[in-house]
Structure 1
C-alpha cells in the first residue's frame, strides 16, 4: 500500500506524508484514490517521466501515505506538494499542501492556512500529516 517516491534516489531530506481520506461526516472513506506529484530537491519537475509522481488507494480505514523527499523552492513558489483525491464515485479534489513556518509562504499567493501540513521530526527525516475531506 505504501508508495515509495524515492526509488529513483533523489537527494534531499526524506519525508513521509500520511493521513486519512474522510467523507463529509468525517468518516473514513476506503479505496479513495490519492495522487501526488512534486518538484525534486532542485525545484524541478520531471516532465518526461514519472519521477516524484505516484498514486495509491486508501486502505479500508481510509489511510494513505507516501515516502518522498522535501521539495526544493523554485522561483515564485514556496515548498508544496500537489494532490488529487477522489472517493469512489465522487468528485476530484485537486489541491496543494504546504509546509508550516516556511518563510516564502507569505509571498506565495496560493498558500491557504487550511492546507498547512502538521509536521514533526522522524527517525529518517520528517513526518507530515494531513486529512482530506471529500
Structure 2
C-alpha cells in the first residue's frame, strides 16, 4: 500500500514546531518510508558557521519585504524554511534574509523584483519562503541566492543547492556544505536550511 504524502503546510508546521533548544534533535518523519532529517548543519558546540558563496551578477538591492514568490512566476512549488542561529545554537530574531533566484526557465528578473524579496526571522529565528524550484542554466546547477544579516552583524552572502542534481558535480561554485534537505510533499517540495552565523 502506498503511503500518502503530507502537504507542504503539514511538513512545515511539524518542522517549525521545533524550538531553538531542540535544533540538534531529529526532525519528524514525512512518511513511513522517509528518513528522519537532521537539522542543516548539525548544531553543537563545535558547529562551524555557514560558509559564504559568491553573490553572482544578478543581485538587486532594496528588495520588497515578502514571503510568497509564487505569484511572480510559474513553476513547481517549494517551501523554503529553516532557522538562523548562532554557533551556540541560539536563535537570532529579526535576522534579515534576502532571497533571489532564477525562474523555471533559468532566467532572472533584472528589471523588477520577481522571485526576489526579503523577510525577518521571528523570535525563534525561523523563516519561511513560498517559492518555486529554479531551473539550472549555463554551467550553473539549480540554486538559490541568499544574504543573511543578524541585527548589527555582518552580511553572509551564500547559495543553497539541491541534493541529487546532476549539475552539482559540474558547477565550480557548488559546495556540498550548502546542500538543503529537500523532501517531497503531496503539493510540491519542502526545502530546509539552517543558517549558522558567527558573531
Confirm or deny a common fold (TM above 0.5).
yes
**Take 1:61 and 1:123, find their aligned partners in 2: how far apart are those partners?**
27
Whose RCO is larger (CA < 8 A, sep 6+)? 1
Match of 1:95 in 2: 158
Selected match of 2:145 from 82, 96, 109? 82
* Cα pair 1:38 1:82 within 8 Å, conserved: yes
Deviation at 1:123, TM superposition (A): 2.6
Match of 1:128 in 2: 191
CA-based RMSD: 1.2
Q: Are 1:7 and 2:71 counterparts?
A: yes
* Cα pair 2:100 2:144 within 8 Å, conserved: yes
Deviation at 1:2, TM superposition (A): 7.0
**Take 1:51 and 1:84, find their aligned partners in 2: how far apart are those partners?**
17
Structure 1 residues not aligned, in runs of 5+: none
* Cα pair 1:38 1:53 within 8 Å, conserved: yes
Q: What is the total number of aligned residue pairs between the two structures?
A: 133
- Deviating runs (4+, > 4 A) in structure 1? none
Structure 2 residues not aligned, in runs of 5+: 1-64
Deviation at 1:12, TM superposition (A): 1.3
Cα deviation digits, residues 20-57 of structure 1 (max 9, x gap): 00012111101100110000011000000000001000
Greater fraction strand: 1
Greater fraction helix: 2
* Cα pair 1:37 1:54 within 8 Å, conserved: yes
- Report SS of the residue matched to 1:93: strand
With normalisation by structure 1, the TM-score equals: 0.96
- Decide which structure has the larger Cα Rg and report it: 2
Match of 2:101 in 1: 38
